[in-house]
A = this chain, B = another copy of it.
């Protein structure tokens, strides 16, 4: 199915190239040139620079150094920096893994680490006082990263590494020096986070002198994760072996076989294997590494189906074309070349997850650990929903409707397989990792339904949502239903939970409306108002309430700890009522007060003590007391639209885009959060933002682009033009749609889908009447 779609897309690209720009050379259409996968690899972006296909199951990326991180027996808090296995400041590479998360706030994966080396065989990764490890130094000067391609020189071994990938297969190309001691290591011990303690079981089979299969099972963030693989070498290895680091209870092998060398079955908790080669000067050894969630046979099928040849450049080019096809869905011009780089890199980052999670034959491992067949859809995993429901899935509803439909079907399959009968909270490689709060899959569903995206079964989707919303033992939900808010003395982060649940319940009501289930509309519309119950009219803040109905006494609305919020404080998170912003504004004192409140939020000075020790929040991502580096505030700059100074949204979002995003390694001011940070940038650059996913409206901000053309899957093209665009002209003077002026501060999804021409006339002075 996916192959057919891809073929179709390639075909459409071809047609478009032919028809739309017959004279443009290929390079002009190459949007991949504007993508810098290194963006976010410094500081806390948590992105990886490696090779991957759009939404691909394989993320083949270097793992830097982490001398500290790999030291045995110690938990290392630095792990947080290595969610994606790479930190730009590092000077060594320990190998290349085939699974990596992009932009998450917690670590996992790092499966199937491969490392080419030369010289004496070393199986310990780290340099110690007395001995060198297999780790190698590298220089960023020798490094290239592009969509679907990564290149580096391993200085210790004089080996050039080139990596590319299809959806399910990583393709390595190593250029060796002349050697009788060339090795390719397969390290089954390496894990991102809790390094050597996470393996449940690992298994390697040497099928013949150039084919290896196996699997790894880990207990990490995903409690019961299984990754199967098949590795094909372009050249037979001359010998191989492994070292086991386990205490073996019983072993029928020992004394009867020389198991360590050239014995084709290896298994244990912690093993490292090696494959030995003779190489000529500049000899290339290639390796194709296919993954599967199902079985080694599944991995073999993927290997054979996706790369049945040894033409590295062909795969590299095809994957680049896939990227270009996806990136060229939005063609922009900008004031500065750098903005184009930032934009296309952000757009790239929005397509690194959710990831494809099925074999070429449609088999995949379900949440129940049984093998399922995806009938009528393509299965995806890695749904970091507390992050991505906000802008990433809404972005998909504009440019990847077919994929988002598949993602929703994946979400529904997850619910069916769930013993809790719950939609995913954070769907993680056939596991639920329960990360963060609320059940935002309902928002993803509602947004698609309201926007008429997809052909998934709406009735099933409603049932799944209602089922989810009634699991009483889920994270404060029973008390939320009972008390009509989450009492802080029953469940921590009670205000955040109450606000998010109320919004999610509103989403369920929207789904029910589409299905025509009035009873459910009524029930969940009522639950959607529960945010009222944590509003403290006295302090005018959302505030933690106890089970006895009184507000918690000690209350610091600036603190993110113990104040009823998670990853945010009352100033920020307290503004979270996207389902009914006008009522929230009334509740909190009216338009003028909220306008002033927002002014204060963006300009106040926040004491360092409120930033220290707060996960996911660093000084980099903060403006006053506003936090762009984390999600709960992403809608806040747009809230001016509901005040009497709506133009302040326009200047504020332009300021955020200018200061919080960039095209260099430190171009992200916080975790990219599985693409949410980048999706915010894409929408904001285009001039609008889905403040309330599940409604068909987009709040208007201020476009950063000069011109954008969005190629929609319905065949229409949406053109956005920012007239008089300049660095200073951040304000909108006038808006026309197909030449017709509108005087409102939102666009509708239908207006987008109809295509046509949106012209924003920009100015350096606000039009204070616009939208009033």
Q: Which A residues are within 8 Å of any B CB, using their own CB?
A: 193-194, 197-198, 200-201, 203, 205-207, 213, 215, 217, 219-221, 223-224, 249-253, 255-258, 262-265, 267-268, 295-297, 368-371, 419-420, 433-435, 473-475, 492
A435 to B254, CA, bound (A): 11
B371–A295 CB distance below 8 A: yes
A205 to B370, CA, bound (A): 12
- Which residue of B197, B198, B201, B250 contacts A201 across the interface (Cβ within 8 Å)? B201
A397 to chain B, nearest CB (A): 28
List of B residues within 8 angstroms of A296 by Cβ = 368-370
A252–B434 CB distance below 8 A: yes
A371 to B252, CA, bound (A): 24
List of B residues within 8 angstroms of A205 by Cβ = 368, 419
- A107, closest chain B residue (CB): B250
Most buried by B among A252, A253, A265, A268: A252
B203–A369 CB distance below 8 A: yes
A224–B203 CB distance below 8 A: yes
Contact flag A252-B433 (CB < 8 Å), given A201-B217, A264-B419, A267-B224:
yes
List of B residues within 8 angstroms of A263 by Cβ = 473
List of B residues within 8 angstroms of A370 by Cβ = 295-297
A250–B194 CB distance below 8 A: yes
A559 to chain B, nearest CB (A): 19
A50 to chain B, nearest CB (A): 24
Q: List 23 A-B contacts (CB under 8 A).
A: A200-B217, A201-B201, A201-B224, A203-B224, A203-B369, A206-B419, A215-B369, A217-B217, A219-B268, A220-B249, A220-B250, A223-B251, A224-B267, A252-B433, A252-B434, A255-B492, A257-B473, A257-B474, A257-B475, A264-B419, A295-B371, A297-B368, A371-B371
List of B residues within 8 angstroms of A297 by Cβ = 368, 370
List of B residues within 8 angstroms of A203 by Cβ = 224, 369
A295 to B370, CA, bound (A): 6
- A263, closest chain B residue (CB): B473
A193 to B249, CA, bound (A): 10
List of B residues within 8 angstroms of A492 by Cβ = 255
A215 to B200, CA, bound (A): 14
A256 to B474, CA, bound (A): 8
A336 to chain B, nearest CB (A): 42
Number of this chain's copies in the assembly equals 2
A295–B200 CB distance below 8 A: no
A258–B473 CB distance below 8 A: yes
A371 to B263, CA, bound (A): 24
List of B residues within 8 angstroms of A249 by Cβ = 194, 197-198, 219-220
List of B residues within 8 angstroms of A219 by Cβ = 201, 249, 267-268
A223 to B244, CA, bound (A): 14
List of B residues within 8 angstroms of A257 by Cβ = 434, 473-475
List of B residues within 8 angstroms of A256 by Cβ = 434, 475
A419–B265 CB distance below 8 A: yes
A206 to B193, CA, bound (A): 30
- A475, closest chain B residue (CB): B256
List of B residues within 8 angstroms of A264 by Cβ = 419-420
A437 to chain B, nearest CB (A): 9
List of B residues within 8 angstroms of A258 by Cβ = 473
A257 to B213, CA, bound (A): 38
A354 to B51, CA, bound (A): 49
- A247, closest chain B residue (CB): B197
* Interchain residue pairs A-B with the least CB separation, the first 8: A252-B434, A297-B370, A264-B419, A205-B419, A295-B370, A256-B475, A200-B201, A194-B249
B200–A200 CB distance below 8 A: yes
List of B residues within 8 angstroms of A473 by Cβ = 257-258, 262-263
List of B residues within 8 angstroms of A220 by Cβ = 249-250
- A264, closest chain B residue (CB): B419
List of B residues within 8 angstroms of A250 by Cβ = 193-194, 220-221
A263 to B256, CA, bound (A): 46
B267–A223 CB distance below 8 A: yes
- A435, closest chain B residue (CB): B252
B369–A207 CB distance below 8 A: no
- A437, closest chain B residue (CB): B256
List of B residues within 8 angstroms of A252 by Cβ = 221, 433-435
A246 to chain B, nearest CB (A): 9
B215–A419 CB distance below 8 A: no
A258 to B207, CA, bound (A): 46
A420 to B257, CA, bound (A): 13
A567 to chain B, nearest CB (A): 15
List of B residues within 8 angstroms of A194 by Cβ = 249-250
- A366, closest chain B residue (CB): B297
List of B residues within 8 angstroms of A193 by Cβ = 250
List of B residues within 8 angstroms of A215 by Cβ = 369
List of B residues within 8 angstroms of A474 by Cβ = 257
- A194, closest chain B residue (CB): B249
- A474, closest chain B residue (CB): B257
- A106, closest chain B residue (CB): B250
A312 to chain B, nearest CB (A): 28
A210 to chain B, nearest CB (A): 14
For the complex with contacts A200-B201, A205-B419, A265-B419, 20 further pairs of A-B residues with Cβ separation under 8 Å are A197-B249, A200-B200, A203-B224, A203-B369, A206-B419, A207-B419, A217-B217, A219-B267, A220-B249, A221-B252, A224-B267, A255-B492, A257-B473, A257-B475, A263-B473, A264-B420, A265-B420, A295-B369, A295-B370, A295-B371
